[in-house]
Amino acid sequence: MKFGDHLNESMIPEWKDKYVEYKVGKKKLKTFKQKLQNDIDETTTDSLLNASVSDSIESTYIDQENSTPVTPSHVYSIQKDYSPVKKKIVQEFVKDWLIGEQLNKCNDFYEELINDCRKKYNILENQIRFYNIQRHSIDNKKTRNLLIVSSSESVDVENTPIDSTIQHPYAPNRGRVITLNGQQNVANANKNFASHFLYFQKLKTILKNNNLLPSLPAKGITSYFHQNGRGSQGKETFNASENDMLSEITVEKAQKLLTEAILEFYLFLQLVKTYRDLNLTGFRKIAKKFDKTCETKECLKFMNYAKENYTIFSHIDPNIALMTDRMKKTSTYQPLVFEDITPENESDDPLLWWESKVRGWYIKDLTNSLTEMKRNNDKLRKFGIQYSLNERIIHRINISILQMTISGFFIGAAFSLIIYTLYLIFTSDDKAYIHRILFPLWGGWYMVLLISFLFIGNCFIWHRSGINYRFIMFGEIQARSGTQFFNNDFATTKISLKYYFISLFILACSILAIISFQLEKLTPLGFIFPGIVITLFLAPSWMIPFWDKLVETRKWLFCSGIRLIFSGFYPVEFGDFFLGDIVCSLTYSISDLAMFFCVYVRSDNATCSSSHLRSMGVLGCLPSFWRFMQCLRRFADSGDWFPHLLNAAKYTLGVAYNATLCVYRISPKSFHSRQIFIVFATLNATYTSIWDLVMDWSLLQPSQNNTFLRDDLYLAGKKNWKTGKYSNKRKSIYYFAMIWNVIVRFEWIVYAIAPQTIQQSADTSFILATAEVLRRFVWIIFRVENEHVANVNLFRVSGTAPLPYPINITSITPLGSSDSDEATNIIVLESNSGNDNLSVTNEPQQTSNRINRFDTVGAVPNVDITRETRIEEPMPAYHPPLERRTTTFGSISKSIPWAHTSDFQRPSIVATTLPGRDSDNESENESIASG
């Protein structure tokens, strides 16, 4: 693979604009080569060309090699023995472009990354110091422990071991402090309560581990009105389900949070190392190629100059030693796990220095046994960037080919059957059982499966366009993105696996549908398919090939569905709001549930239609209502009225639209109901169209190069390297998408102007539902692209991990005499809560007076002090980095390009490893590599 392709595949998508433009440099070299050739033709005779050119070139090389090496300085010098044209080329390419533009750009960004890493490292260092003091204070103290139990008796206890401390925060007599003799058995005193409490704790743990534990809003809806009228001052919560962090921080909880934060920081260091190493290789190769093309000796001089004056090159020697050591210890068959080289001091290579320190915290400080140390050590090794990769791990037996073959066969057969059922429907009589009952019910399943199939197509489009959808949707940090080949291979995307997954559902649906249409019966086939869906979701891994690779997919769909149904009880992450918007396009399918139950309850099937069932209208309102509740929850969590309340108003219109449509279809001859329907339908279509284009897609924004579009258009391909503009032909896709989106949003006009026979026709509803699904397919593409553009502009490649302790520790003071075992530690903190995040922002700081002290059970109670302290608050996602006092309208107009980023809270970070690193078994490696 050529290095240009390797660089393009290995670069971190969100930092794409900050890499050396290697391919642009190659194109420039072609023009310079032509200039040199023209110069030779103009200044030399034919005899000199034929006899002396090679000799003159050789003498030039000899003179340069024997000359005194140029000492690097802050001014890049050009050799005097070059011809005027060659001097001009060196000036334009090396000094002006390679150094003046590319090296300065990469070095400035690298220094920003280093400063960001240093700040995060200092925060984590204080967190670890705080954690060690807390754990040490618990291990060494011998004090009275308070056992909170559900009892009304009080018995003294002395010198009770800390391990026997039991807290029942949900006990009926919470708040009553009871002391028991250490020899008495608490479980015998209240065995029933302990048993019920144990089951409650297990259920709570299960719900929490699956992200299904309900929680109260982080701030509360009324909190906005207590912030001097400024909702934007609210803190953007990262994980609102951890509301109990605001009370007591136990050692176990602190250990868990620090483990996640340190792991995320470790992965961030890996990404920074990737950025540095790829650019160093790119600069070296382009300088070497310049020498080869223009017949100069600038590569060595450039490297020495860059090493002398630029930070990104100053760490090259330790890095080369690391790479050399790794290459020596890596076999050509299986990548080998090895110990990293640790620099002698931080100045040599801060990234390697911080990495070694973080590794020590993760393996030693945050473990309680040798087994945990070994497990954490193995985990870090899997996340380390690998500098060599055996191509056969991915390509020798590529299971993705088998998955695509099977899914292609299943989907092809299923679509043939579905098309045949549609032929039967459209050629049947409107009053036939097939047309009135079977068509809407099976058509509802068709819509669900179609949008699922199209979503996987979206994933492929994002993959080909370089949009990091896996980080956006699932919070995955791709640790395998590094200096390695084939890291962006299709086999590693799991797209083929998802096609295989959905193909089984589509095939089963099509087979049962064709049987149902041939028999003209719904029973029992209407119950069999939902049973098959449930069976496939709950099927054990050994029952179906590759089903063990889909455990997380099935779990995510199930849990996200529950979180959507109970919207408002959970903080809104990307998957929650994203699934809610997709379901809003499936009102056709959800409404048909009322018809399904009507067919089995009523003897007269003629009344089971949209012109008779009010329940169909109620079910059609549910998706918009769920999104409405999510918007209110986002407002309650963040305290920001914009855009969440405006978004809630949009879904209120959606509810009104579906409700008035139901009333209008039940009584189509009522002029009053028709007028109300047209009013709400017009408002809803206009509001949602503007919101889609301006807020969700960030189009119709002022742009210098792209009329009515954004500056960054990933679906428009690459910019012209000379003009820096996109192709007009490729940009046209955005204009067609905008027109298509608006047209489908106004499809309600068919219901308003068409005769009753067309309005109530099952054909009309199915066609309009299909158009809405296709509109959502297009909307999804540009919505995720817009989120990726925001991540690129903000250089966001990781989440904001919650931390257990306030981030600013000002002093650590041991209290108590040296001969006392009762000594404790006082830590003075600059904070107003215990729910801080590992982030560095420019948000205005707030003040608070607080001191925290460890008690005997390891919690952190809060005691006020009379000193002023300060803490940095994370910045709400959509606010610009520098915020000034402006009018409300001005604030909204500045926030519009970033409003879409606050639709959700950032998901927890998921670390993904390199294929083949999880086990030593070759077959497993091949399976993992295939997705």
Tell me: pLDDT of 809 over 70: no
Backbone angles phi, psi at 364, to 5 degrees: -100, -55
**End-to-end CA separation in angstroms for the chain:** 22
pLDDT for the residue 190: 55
Residues 329-356 pLDDT 10s? 554 444 444 355 666 677 778 888 898 8
**In 273-423, which ranges are E strands?**
none
pLDDT for the residue 552: 87
Residue 908 Cα to chain centre, angstroms: 8
CB of 338 within 8 A of CB of 332?
no
Tell me: pLDDT of 431 over 70: yes
Residues 25-70 pLDDT 10s? 888 888 888 777 776 655 544 444 343 333 333 333 333 333 334 3
Confidence grade of residue 151 (pLDDT, cut at 50, 70, 90): very low
pLDDT for the residue 239: 36
Question: What whole-number distance in Å separates Cα of residue 440 and Cα of residue 422?
Answer: 11
Query: Cα torsion for 518, 520, 523, 527, to the nearest 10°?
Result: 60
Query: Mean pLDDT, to the nearest integer, of 442-461?
Result: 95
pLDDT for the residue 891: 58
> Residue 75: exposed, middle, or buried by beta-carbon count in 10 A (0-12, 13-18, 19+)?
exposed
pLDDT for the residue 173: 40
Tell me: pLDDT of 238 over 60: no
Question: What whole-number distance in Å separates Cα of residue 439 and Cα of residue 422?
Answer: 8
Confidence grade of residue 912 (pLDDT, cut at 50, 70, 90): very low
Confidence grade of residue 478 (pLDDT, cut at 50, 70, 90): low
In the DSSP assignment, the letter for residue 506 is H
pLDDT for the residue 926: 34
Comparing 874 with 200, which gets the higher pLDDT? 200
How many of the other CB atoms lie within 10 Å of CB of 789? 22
Query: Mean pLDDT, to the nearest integer, of 451-473?
Result: 90
Query: Mean pLDDT, to the nearest integer, of 700-707?
Result: 80
pLDDT for the residue 60: 32
Comparing 862 with 86, which gets the higher pLDDT? 86
Which of the residue ranges 248-252, 339-343, 412-416 would you say has the lowest mean pLDDT?
339-343
Residue 474 Cα to chain centre, angstroms: 5
pLDDT for the residue 465: 86
Query: Mean pLDDT, to the nearest integer, of 157-165?
Result: 36
pTM of the model: 0.73
Comparing 441 with 339, which gets the higher pLDDT? 441
Q: Which two tokens stand for residue 218?
A: 């982080």
Dihedral sign computed on CA atoms, order 64, 66, 67, 68: positive
pLDDT above 70 as % of the chain: 67
pLDDT above 90 as % of the chain: 29
Question: What whole-number distance in Å separates Cα of residue 274 and Cα of residue 382?
Answer: 16
Tell me: pLDDT of 647 over 80: yes
Helix (H) or strand (E) holding 710, with range, is: none
Question: What whole-number distance in Å separates Cα of residue 311 and Cα of residue 109?
Answer: 10
Confidence grade of residue 865 (pLDDT, cut at 50, 70, 90): very low
The residues, any chain, with a CB within 8 Å of residue 677's CB and separated by 6 or more, are 657, 660, 661, 663, 664, 751, 752
Confidence grade of residue 735 (pLDDT, cut at 50, 70, 90): very high
Query: For residue 916, which of 335, 384, 462 has the smallest C-alpha distance?
Result: 335
Question: What whole-number distance in Å separates Cα of residue 608 and Cα of residue 592?
Answer: 10
Residues 915-928 pLDDT 10s? 333 333 333 333 33
The residues, any chain, with a CB within 8 Å of residue 191's CB and separated by 6 or more, are none
Question: What whole-number distance in Å separates Cα of residue 368 and Cα of residue 26?
Answer: 54
Q: Per residue in 386-418, is it b (16+ CB within 10 Å) or e — as a string? A: bbbbbebbbeebbbbeebbebbeebbeebeebb
Q: Which two tokens stand for residue 57?
A: 């070139």
The residues, any chain, with a CB within 8 Å of residue 889's CB and separated by 6 or more, are none
Residues 284-332 pLDDT 10s? 999 999 888 888 888 888 888 888 889 888 877 766 666 666 556 554 4
Mean of pLDDT over the chain: 74
Residues 508-548 pLDDT 10s? 999 999 999 999 999 899 899 999 999 999 999 888 999 99
pLDDT for the residue 668: 76
Pairing of strands 910-912, 476-478: parallel
Residues 212-228 pLDDT 10s? 888 888 765 444 444 44
Confidence grade of residue 443 (pLDDT, cut at 50, 70, 90): very high
pLDDT for the residue 408: 94
Alpha helices, DSSP H only, in 467-586?
A: 469-474, 495-519, 525-538, 551-565, 574-584
Question: What whole-number distance in Å separates Cα of residue 322 and Cα of residue 343?
Answer: 10
Question: What whole-number distance in Å separates Cα of residue 611 and Cα of residue 662?
Answer: 8
Tell me: pLDDT of 256 over 80: yes
pLDDT for the residue 773: 97
CA gyration radius, the chain: 32
